């Protein structure tokens, strides 16, 4: 649910980066945050947990033109990828206007990718929204690893039934990161 700040004439949209553990969600956000000029962004915030990997809860406004006379501001969030944290993922996903699903291209991660995408579909439906109509973009991350699955296979396993825009990325180098962000931003705005 996009929030509207009347005094500032801003519309705030929430975009969530979703995906299995260690797929590169946080890397995406860190790269975006480092590339956006200082005046256009808020602080990158994180909430740490006790377990091996930190749960990132990020906030990053990014201006992207006007809609109906309102300035758009995007809030980007990541969810903790580890299976353990499904309840946190549901909480972060609540009220999201769009989702980037970051898939890990490594052959041995395909199973985790599929399970995580299925969980996403379930959680979006649990919010009373239709998964196939929900603004969603796929990002095949880590395209530079030696054991990366060929594109056709990624498409076959992840995108053959949902057919959403998908981008190849090497988030650690920033490759494909902004293409993905622009794509989801446009999708979200088109729904307003």
Partner 1 sequence: MALNGPLHEFPLNDIISLVELGKQSGAAQINSVMNGRPVTGRIYFRTGSVVHAELSDLSAEEALFTMFTFTDGHFEFLNGEQPTREDIKRNNAFLIMMGINRSDELKKIKEIVPSTDLVPLLADNIKSNQVNLTPDEWKILTAINGKDNIETIARVTRLGDFRTRKAIAHLLEQGVIEKKQRNIKYILYAELDTIATTHLGNAAKNLLDQAYQRARVKIDDDITYEQALDVVEVFRKLAAMLMGPGRAKTVAEQMLERVRVVFER
Three-state SS at 47:
strand
Q: Is the dihedral of CA 125, 127, 132, 138 positive or negative?
A: negative
* CA proximity to 187, closest of 170, 167, 171: 167
Q: What is the smallest separation between the CB atom of 66 and partner 1, expressed in angstroms? A: 10
Strands 10-18 and 70-78: what pairing?
Answer: parallel
**CB-nearer residue toward partner 1: 2 or 76:** 2
Binding mask 25-64 for partner 1 (x = CB under 8 A): ----------------------------------------
Q: What is the smallest separation between the CB atom of 2 and partner 1, expressed in angstroms? A: 4
Residue keyed to tokens 């379930």: 122
* CA proximity to 40, closest of 69, 60, 20: 60
Q: Which of 37, 38, 65, 69 binds partner 1 (CB under 8 A)?
A: 69
Which range binds partner 1 by CB under 8 A, 19-27, 65-73, 135-143, 174-182?
A: 65-73
- Residues forming contacts to partner 1 in the complex (CB under 8 A) are 1-4, 6, 9, 11, 67-70, 95, 128, 191-192
């Amino acid at each position: 649910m996009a929030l509207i700040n009347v005094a500032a004439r801003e519309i705030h949209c929430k975009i969530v980066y979703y995906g299995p553990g260690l797929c590169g969600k946080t890397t995406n956000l860190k790269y975006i945050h480092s590339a956006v000029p200082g005046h256009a962004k808020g602080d990158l915030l994180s909430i740490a947990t006790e377990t091996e990997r930190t749960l990132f809860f990020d906030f990053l406004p990014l201006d992207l033109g006007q809609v109906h006379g309102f300035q758009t501001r995007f809030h980007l969030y990541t969810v903790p990828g580890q299976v353990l944290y499904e309840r946190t993922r549901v909480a972060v996903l609540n009220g999201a206007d769009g989702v980037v699903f970051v898939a890990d291209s490594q052959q041995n991660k395909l199973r985790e990718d599929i399970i995580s995408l299925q969980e996403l579909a379930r959680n979006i439906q649990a919010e009373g929204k239709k998964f196939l109509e929900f603004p969603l973009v796929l990002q095949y991350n880590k395209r530079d690893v030696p054991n990366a699955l060929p594109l056709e296979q990624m498409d076959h396993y992840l995108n053959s039934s949902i057919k959403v825009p998908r981008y190849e990325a090497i988030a650690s180098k920033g490759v494909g990161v902004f293409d993905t962000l622009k794509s989801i931003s446009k999708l979200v705005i088109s729904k307003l």
